Amino acid sequence: MSAGAEGARGAARGTGRGAGAAGPGTGAPHHGHTTPVHSTWEPRPAARWEDAFLAGNGHHGALVFGDPDDDRVVVTHHSLVRPSRDEHREPPRLAAALPTVQDRLLSGDLTAAEDFTDGRPLQWVRAFHPAFQVRLRREPGPAHGYRRRVDFATGETTAVCGDRTSRVFVSRADDVIVQHVTAPHLTLGLCLDHRLPGAPDTLAVGHGAVLTADGALLSLRARYPGSDLGFTGITLAVVTGGTTTIAPPGVRVTGATGVLLLTRVRRHTGDLDVRAESRALRDLLTDRPYDDLLDRHLALHRTAYERVDLDLAADPAERALPGSELLARPRSAALLERLFAAGRYHLLSSGGLCPPRLSGLWTGDWDTAWSGAFTNDANLNLQTAAAAATALPEVTEALAALVHRQLPHWRDNARAIFGARGVVAPAHSDGESGHTYHFSRAYPLHLWTAGADWLLKPLVDHDETRGTRDPRTAVALDEVAQFYEDFLTRTDADGHLVVVPSYSPENRPANASWGAINAAMDLSAARHALLTAADYHPGPGADRRRALAARLPPHRVNADGALAEWAHPGLDDSYDHRHLSHLYGVWPLDEINPYDTPDLAAAAHRALALRGAENDSAHGHLHHALIAARLRDAARVAHALGQVLDGDFFHASLMSAHYPKRDVYNADAAHTLPAVLVEALVQSTPHRLVLLPALPAAYPAGRLRGVRTRFGAGLDLAWGPDGATAVLRPSRTTRVELRTSSGARPLDLVAGEDRVLTLGAR
């Protein structure tokens, strides 16, 4: 792209639509775009829970099947994890043995870390599970005119069949699942049904059904085997017209015109006060309860969702297709538009009490793959990658809440395993415990020390976008730096500090065991943590931390010309692996880039080219794409996206799978894809803006509206064959470097004044 004339500064914000989609008066090129579709639909009910449409408020989740004859809504909640024995759920106490293991590794015994364990078996974190399904059954009736839909902007799912309509959303304002079923003559059975796949036979379940003045109150009490811990679901059913009678385990409604259901689930020990929960639900009722509840929800959900959108100038006819048909057209721009919209919708819907799990906020099976955990050595980090740039601080806050709840456990990890102050994050968490206990010989995740830096990186990015620093993030960064001050005590012959033991998730050197020395990720994370903490905490301590970072060794380039996964000499790379941990310095960090470190960027690019896909995990392909975008390789971004789009990774719900052919329900691809598309179009640091660094050739025209930059400006971008226009809306006065394909130049921004950039044809 050649640099063209730059437009004059625009007037201060506040006119028209303010948020400012590029349009008349901005100098934006026009390409006949129409509004992208912010919903998806299907012409038939979901037959599998994986295809059920999703709703959530970051606490409660709902999987909506939309079957008019057996209307099922599976209820989930972030807090629902199966209890288990506490044996082996503390970090191993290995600190006393650490010096010996370090001595052995540094002397050349590259199997020494295999003995750095207390001999425990592999222990998975506690498994996430569904609660129950709200079930409405009726005699099969005419099925003409069926359509189910989920509206991303409202979070509302609808299923229409003839004269029967069912609407469901999960309120962000009132933390309740709301369902409203209407028809001229409704006769149906209503119950709460715990019988979902994998539910333990020994789960102790009790049902309650009580008639009320306006309908019924249903409850389901479940207690886990061998535990006083359990959960209770409560549904208040408000019935309009007809009669309601007890029909164990629920009620039967005859001749009604409407049924409004309000549902919550609570995890607890002992007994729950069902009356108090019922009163809380009744307090939500108004003269028009569904509409009022929806309005309160929309004030939060719609506002968040509509901050950003992507238009790829797709064919309007393809935009009108149901999701399942669109998925059969993997090269369709309409598909990518819809997956971008659905990805942000699902990410927003799963972030609240916690950030998204491996399965987001949803599962219809008690045997959730990999425990439905928070997996911190790639998956959670990839899933939250879009939060700052696509203006979802709700997700960032959910991640921050998880981090700050778990800091006491992270301190335990640092003391028990490494004998150090500060914090070490686990590779896996159930959302309750932050202790490191999931590890084995083949996956010595207790050796991994880079996790806290990676988990805090999105919080730092968020601080940069808004221009203020969260004091909680400052505290956490200080504790990460404290750990490195205590842990980095060994040096090599050149006087460089040595990270030992060191682990590169989830790979091993081709000629050594898993626990090794100077993994590239560990070096990048230690440097970044120390320098970032110094930036947040200026003063004498900051100088000490910068000096410590400067003593870390440089990255190594191997005989293949690639950035080595282990900087320690003599450790050979294992290329065919789904993780790209060694390129952490490229993404998500800015340590290695084509502008400041071109030689290292070339070595990183070579490492990326040599990397195999191993088992075709979706997260591996999209991680590859994120790194390729940072390295300005549009063809490689397109190829990695193609691997996912061609691989049948998406269910009709537009939630994704971990493997091709929709194998293993998993949110990695769904939540990460928006970040890939943004990185291909816009990249920013506190001091740099890069426009159209890696745009795939298949999308020659489009618009991206509302993204946030790390130097405090909102940005709209429009591009086409004749050039591109960017509209910047800075919230603070600063100077950044503008990078396009034609080179670099300084760009001055003034708080409150729009800046319009017009770029020539590529």
Q: Answer whether 711's CB lies under 8 Å from 737's CB.
A: no
Is 500 in a helix, a strand, or coil? coil
Positive or negative CA dihedral for 434, 437, 438, 443? positive
Residue type, 111: T
Phi–psi pair at 85, nearest 5 degrees? -60, 150
Cα separations in angstroms, 669 against 128, 219, 349, 444, 694: 20, 36, 16, 26, 19
Below-70 pLDDT ranges, the chain? 1-34, 762
Looking at residue 1, its pLDDT comes to: 36
Burial label for 432, CB within 10 Å (0-12, 13-18, 19+), is: middle
Looking at residue 30, its pLDDT comes to: 40
Looking at residue 68, its pLDDT comes to: 94
Closest CA to 623 of 343, 382, 383: 382
Separation of alpha carbons 192 and 231, rounded Å: 13
Topology of the domain comprising 39-81+128-305: Beta-galactosidase; Chain A, domain 5 (2.70.98)
Separation of alpha carbons 341 and 390, rounded Å: 11
Separation of alpha carbons 265 and 259, rounded Å: 20
Burial label for 115, CB within 10 Å (0-12, 13-18, 19+), is: middle
DSSP secondary structure string, 704-735?
EEEEE-TTSEEEEEEEETTEEEEEEEESS-EE
Separation of alpha carbons 91 and 106, rounded Å: 25
Separation of alpha carbons 378 and 455, rounded Å: 10
Paired tokens of 694: 């890696």
DSSP secondary structure string, 168-205?
EEE-TTT--EEEEEEEEEEEEEEEEE---TT--TT-EE
Looking at residue 761, its pLDDT comes to: 72
Strands 734-740 and 688-691, sheet pairing: parallel
Closest CA to 671 of 476, 488, 398: 398
Positive or negative CA dihedral for 9, 13, 15, 16? positive
Separation of alpha carbons 42 and 52, rounded Å: 10
Contacts with 196 (C-beta within 8 Å, 6 or more apart), sequence order: 74, 130, 132, 133, 364, 365, 366
Separation of alpha carbons 153 and 266, rounded Å: 27
Closest CA to 549 of 508, 477, 488, 486: 488
Cα separations in angstroms, 245 against 72, 75, 132, 324, 746: 20, 24, 22, 40, 73
Burial label for 143, CB within 10 Å (0-12, 13-18, 19+), is: middle
- Per-domain boundaries in the chain: 3-33+701-759, 39-81+128-305, 95-122+351-691
Cis ω before 696 (30° cut-off from 0): no
Positive or negative CA dihedral for 318, 324, 330, 335? positive
Cα separations in angstroms, 332 against 398, 512, 705: 33, 45, 20
Residue 289, H or E segment: helix 289-305
Separation of alpha carbons 107 and 423, rounded Å: 28
Looking at residue 762, its pLDDT comes to: 64
Looking at residue 371, its pLDDT comes to: 96
Neighbours of 602 (CB within 10 A): 17
Looking at residue 621, its pLDDT comes to: 97
Does domain 95-122+351-691 fall under CATH 3.10.100.10? My reply is no
Is 337 in a helix, a strand, or coil? helix
Looking at residue 33, its pLDDT comes to: 53
pTM greater than 0.85 (yes/no) = yes
Q: What is the DSSP letter of 366?
A: S
Cis ω before 464 (30° cut-off from 0): no
Separation of alpha carbons 305 and 154, rounded Å: 8
CA count, 13 A, side-chain hemisphere, 271? 5
Looking at residue 38, its pLDDT comes to: 97
- 39-81+128-305 and 95-122+351-691 share one fold: no
